[in-house]
Structure 1
Amino acid sequence: MSDRQSVRLSNSVNILLLLFLGAILAAAAELPYGGWIQLPILSLIWWRMSQQSIPSIKNQFISGMSFALGYFILGLWWIYISLHDVGGMNPVLAGTAVFLLSAYVAAYFSLASLSLVFFKTSRLTGLLLAASWVGFEYFRGEIFTGFPWMGFAETQLNGPFAPVAPLFGGLACTFLVVWISWEITRLKKDIRFSGTCIIFTIALMQLASFWTFTKPIGEPISVRLIQGNFEQSLKLNPKAIEDQFNFYTSAIEHEPADLIITPETAYPWPQSNLPSGLINSLQQFSNKTSSNILLGVIGEAGKSDEIKYTNRALGLSPHLPAYQYDKSHLVPFGEFIPPGFHWFVNAFHVPMSDFARGKLDQAPFSIVRAGKDDIHAAITICYEDVFGGELASRIHHSSKPVNLLINMTNLAWFGDSQAPAQQLRLSQLRSLETGLPALRATNTGITAALGPNGKVLSQLAEFKQGVLSLKIQAYSGTTPYVIWGNAPILSLSCLLLVLGLIRQRRI
């Protein structure tokens, strides 16, 4: 075998091994201590990347794409369910769409890993890799409206670096995961320096977990979270929709509570076309029982001749005008059509696929209680729970102090997959970042209540119809992350990269 053939074989083996390790990394995220388990797996990935026979930007990019493709294909396969099982798309086209999306988000991981070739190996290499990773993760959450799903941060709910989230957010968790996993790789070569970095950082994070920024306010409120468990494929079946309306209405009126929440689009018709008297009847129930109600509906915005639909949370409070929150961060193709693709909607007559955006500065929902102070809740609808920086900014600039987070979602599109568990971890990270408890009302699961530390307080089983009744304690105060957002960790990353570039030019 010639030297060239030997190099090609070595590179092929490396690519397949990295693809496998990426899949193992994604699978580890679903385990109880996934945040800890991912550290040695990432360390092994960095080691394999540094073992290339011919280090180059091209080979490094391919290596980065290999592990990232394994990671995202396994982690995002559930999109196939929405495209094929629910949407009826051809299996080959649906599989291709999942691959292309995985390749797109994998490119950010791959570009971040180029720092291993671009910067000369030194004690700064791990910090520069972490800084690059943070930068590209930030861009992944911004470009084309962003898709920051399956980052390393949300897995840290079951890992060592969760305590940094209230201080500097999920990107800071990502920074520490990448840096410390690199230092694990370096233990054999420099055990004193790398070992000190690992032990000191993990110990500091455990001490930081005792530091809290928010505190309980008032008495706990009674809550009922309704999980209907209606299949997405039945959304256009009139009889099924009637059954869905009847279930949610009956479940709401079955028992009063300070707060009753239905999932996203629990009433999947435009608000003006809902059954006659439905909203009035629920408003009367609210007035009579002093219950605050949040309904998932299809809203309408604009003038009468230019009506556009919105994904809306409609709030009913005792003896007050109706509240509404219209989803602001929309899903590309699912809720809005990017420029240049409206021909697709027109050709296939896709209903309600180009929603209007709600404003970024919408007021929180006020939970009114007789003789007691109001509780103010920041609402997110489904996908919006992914964007920690946006939620932190909304809370920081809110016209009223926010005491509670509420997420209304419908993941029936993705069947029996890990998608609900992945979004639950994102909700947990949002609670940890903001120091606020959270309520999640979902159609098929996971309906749950979270504490201000992100821990699950109570939840319903998936794919079962039911109501989760509980008491939740509201909190007041703001974390440093709510005040500062991503500015500190982005500034640190930029500073490190500038120092790395200066050092590189001097060598």
Structure 2
Amino acid sequence: MSDRQTVSPFRGSRLLIIALLGALLAGAAELPFGGWIQIPILSLVWWQLQKNHIHSIKGSLISGLSFGLGYFVIGLWWIYISLHDVGGMHAIISAAAVLLLATGMGLFFACACLPLYLKTASRLRGLVLASSWVIVEYIRGTIFTGFPWMGFAEAQVNGPFAPATPIFGGLVCTFLVIWISWEILQLKKQARFSGICIISAIVLSQLVGIWAFTKPTGEPLSIRLIQGNFEQSLKFNPQAIQEQFIFYTAAIKKQAADLIITPETAYPWPQNNLPSGLIQSLQDFSNHSFSNVLIGLIGETSQSQDSQYTNRALGISPNMPSYQYDKSHLVPFGEFIPPGFHWFVNAFNVPMSDFARGKPDQAPFGIQRAQQETINAAITICYEDVFGGELATRIRGSSKPVNLLINMTNLAWFGDSQAPGQQLRLSQLRSLETGLPSVRATNTGITAVLGPNGQVLAELPKFTQGVLEFKVQAYSGLTPYVMWGNAPILGLSCLLLVLGAIRQRRI
């Protein structure tokens, strides 16, 4: 038997182990202390990759791709539910779509693993590996409109490095997770150096959490978050839509509050075609009760002389003109069809929307209160709270200080999966980065109130119909991350990559 015949099965089993570790890593993110648990699992990944004797770029890419496939197939399987169970797409095509997306995301992981191929000293290699991961994750979150979902940073809301987020953003969590997981692997070779690195990173991250960059402002807001729990399949049923109108309108008018919020597209109908008098009745309620109301519906805008729909949040305040926020960062294939792919939608009769984009610099929603200063809230709709850099830019460039984050979401598309928990962690990360509290109004869950440190203060159970009532303290001020964005961590990572390349050339 030739060497090639004996080695190939062995390497194949190694690749399978690496893929299984990736799957285990994705599953760990859903656990209460997932951010801590992921770190030793990543150490096992680096150990397996080293055992795989990577001596070429090709070997590094294949191993990294195996890791990424295992991670993303488990982490993104809820997309199958939206395509097959809700969208009606054939099971094979739906499964293939998940596998294709997981492969695409896995390629990013493969590129991030390339420093393992370098022959630099192990002390520097860990820093170069962490830097590579930061750069690749940044690219993953920007190229082709970006898809940074399932990054390691979001699990750190339950991990050791979350306190560093207000200074350098979520990417610093990625850097520290990769670097420290590498140093754990090096403990046997260089116990003192690696031990100091591990302890120092964790202790310093916890210590920086002492500083508060934002502070309370004004009296707490009374809020009511309405969770309708309507199945996505009913969105196209006229009778069900009418029932939805009745439920949300009645729930809004049931009790006054400083702020009342419905989920994304709670009124799943174009604004101009809503039942006669509905918006006016909500305005009358707002005027009489001095309540601010924020509802999700389908907006209409005129672009290039053609009327197009938008995913809109409509704000109604006492004795004030209505406010509107149109979703700016749309989901490819979910909310807009990328150029060149209309044939796919037509061929398979996939029920996909094609919304117009809102402007990226829309003003915050002003929450009016009697004899008190206006509280300004930055709104994100569903998928938009994945992009921390974009939100930080909006807050930094806002003409009015932002005191509160609002996310309106409908995750009924994804059934009883891990998607709601994943997005809740992303909202927690946004609160950490900005130092601002968040409120989340969702259709099926997770409707919640978050503190400025990302802590969940209150939530409704998933797949229940109800209203979450709570007092929310608004905050003022800017964190270093909001002021600087991702520039510091990207600059450091680029510097370390250049240093690693110089050391590689000298070997």
TM-score (norm 2): 0.98
Amino acid at match of 2:269: W
**Secondary structure, counterpart of 1:50 in structure 2:** helix
Amino acid at match of 1:85: D
Which has the higher mean CA deviation after the structures are superposed, 49-58 or 315-324?
49-58
Equivalent residues in 2 for 1:204-223, closer than 5 Å: 204-223=204-223
Q: Deviations over 1:118-161 (max 9, x none)?
A: 34343100000000000000000011100000000010011110
CA-CA distance at 1:276 after TM superposition: 0.3
How far apart, CA to CA, are the structure 2 residues paired with 1:60 and 1:143? 22
Amino acid at match of 2:471: K
Q: Is the 8 A contact 1:7 1:53 kept in 2?
A: no
How far apart, CA to CA, are the structure 2 residues paired with 1:53 and 1:138? 28
Equivalent residues in 2 for 1:309-348, closer than 5 Å: 309-345=309-345
Q: Deviations over 1:204-245 (max 9, x none)?
A: 111111111000001101000000000000111011000000
Which has the higher mean CA deviation after the structures are superposed, 399-408 or 203-212?
203-212
Q: Which residue of 2 aligns with 1:108?
A: 108
Amino acid at match of 2:407: N
The answer to whether residue 423 in structure 2 is matched with residue 423 in structure 1 is: yes
Q: Which residue of 1 aligns with 2:6?
A: 6
Which has the higher mean CA deviation after the structures are superposed, 176-185 or 49-58?
49-58
How far apart, CA to CA, are the structure 1 residues paired with 2:86 and 2:360? 31
**Secondary structure, counterpart of 1:233 in structure 2:** helix
How far apart, CA to CA, are the structure 1 residues paired with 2:179 and 2:92? 39
Which has the higher mean CA deviation after the structures are superposed, 105-114 or 351-360?
351-360
The answer to whether residue 226 in structure 2 is matched with residue 230 in structure 1 is: no
How far apart, CA to CA, are the structure 2 residues paired with 1:17 and 1:345? 37
Amino acid at match of 1:419: A
CA-CA distance at 1:88 after TM superposition: 0.6
Q: Which residue of 1 aligns with 2:385?
A: 385
Q: Which residue of 2 aligns with 1:159?
A: 159
Amino acid at match of 1:5: Q
CA-CA distance at 1:370 after TM superposition: 0.9
Q: Is the 8 A contact 1:283 1:318 kept in 2?
A: yes
The answer to whether residue 81 in structure 2 is matched with residue 81 in structure 1 is: yes
**RMSD over aligned Cα, in angstroms?**
1.3
Q: Which residue of 2 aligns with 1:481?
A: 481
How far apart, CA to CA, are the structure 2 residues paired with 1:2 and 1:352? 53
- Counterparts in 2 of 1:53 and 1:21: CA distance versus 1, 3 Å: same
Q: Is the 8 A contact 2:345 2:352 kept in 1?
A: no
How far apart, CA to CA, are the structure 2 residues paired with 1:49 and 1:381? 39
**Secondary structure, counterpart of 2:252 in structure 1:** helix
Q: Is the 8 A contact 1:309 1:352 kept in 2?
A: no
How far apart, CA to CA, are the structure 1 residues paired with 2:407 and 2:498? 39
Q: Deviations over 1:305-358 (max 9, x none)?
A: 510000000000000000000000000011111111233455667677111100
Q: Which residue of 1 aligns with 2:198?
A: 198
Equivalent residues in 2 for 1:12-91, closer than 5 Å: 12-53=12-53, 55-91=55-91
Q: Is the 8 A contact 1:449 1:459 kept in 2?
A: yes
Q: Is the 8 A contact 1:57 1:118 kept in 2?
A: no
Q: Which residue of 2 aligns with 1:300?
A: 300
Q: Deviations over 1:29-77 (max 9, x none)?
A: 0000000000100000001101124522111111111111111000100
CA-CA distance at 1:484 after TM superposition: 0.2
How far apart, CA to CA, are the structure 1 residues paired with 2:52 and 2:369? 64
Q: Is the 8 A contact 2:184 2:194 kept in 1?
A: yes
Q: Is the 8 A contact 1:22 1:68 kept in 2?
A: yes
Amino acid at match of 2:100: L
Amino acid at match of 1:203: V
How far apart, CA to CA, are the structure 2 residues paired with 1:135 and 1:398? 27
CA-CA distance at 1:3 after TM superposition: 2.8
Amino acid at match of 2:141: G
Q: Which residue of 2 aligns with 1:457?
A: 457
How far apart, CA to CA, are the structure 2 residues paired with 1:60 and 1:91? 33
Identical counterparts, % of pairs: 71
**Secondary structure, counterpart of 1:116 in structure 2:** helix
Q: Is the 8 A contact 2:220 2:474 kept in 1?
A: yes
- Counterparts in 2 of 1:41 and 1:211: CA distance versus 1, 3 Å: same
How far apart, CA to CA, are the structure 1 residues paired with 2:59 and 2:14? 10
How far apart, CA to CA, are the structure 1 residues paired with 2:305 and 2:272? 15
Q: Which residue of 1 aligns with 2:259?
A: 259
**Secondary structure, counterpart of 1:128 in structure 2:** helix
Q: Deviations over 1:63-105 (max 9, x none)?
A: 1111111110001000000000001111010000000000001
Q: Which residue of 1 aligns with 2:373?
A: 373
How many residue pairs get aligned? The number is 507
Q: Which residue of 1 aligns with 2:244?
A: 244
**Secondary structure, counterpart of 1:24 in structure 2:** helix
Which has the higher mean CA deviation after the structures are superposed, 494-503 or 273-282?
494-503
Q: Which residue of 1 aligns with 2:137?
A: 137
Q: Is the 8 A contact 2:54 2:117 kept in 1?
A: no
How far apart, CA to CA, are the structure 1 residues paired with 2:344 and 2:269? 23
**Secondary structure, counterpart of 2:454 in structure 1:** coil
The unaligned stretches of length 5 or more in structure 1 are none
How far apart, CA to CA, are the structure 1 residues paired with 2:54 and 2:33? 36
CA-CA distance at 1:275 after TM superposition: 0.3
How far apart, CA to CA, are the structure 2 residues paired with 1:326 and 1:481? 25
CA-CA distance at 1:4 after TM superposition: 2.3
Q: Is the 8 A contact 2:360 2:394 kept in 1?
A: yes
- Counterparts in 2 of 1:102 and 1:348: CA distance versus 1, 3 Å: closer
Q: Is the 8 A contact 1:119 1:500 kept in 2?
A: no
How far apart, CA to CA, are the structure 1 residues paired with 2:215 and 2:505? 50
Which has the higher mean CA deviation after the structures are superposed, 15-24 or 116-125?
116-125
The answer to whether residue 416 in structure 2 is matched with residue 447 in structure 1 is: no
Which has the higher mean CA deviation after the structures are superposed, 488-497 or 350-359?
350-359
CA-CA distance at 1:503 after TM superposition: 1.3
CA-CA distance at 1:176 after TM superposition: 0.3
Q: Which residue of 1 aligns with 2:178?
A: 178
Equivalent residues in 2 for 1:345-364, closer than 5 Å: 345=345, 353-364=353-364
TM-score (norm 1): 0.98
Amino acid at match of 1:290: F
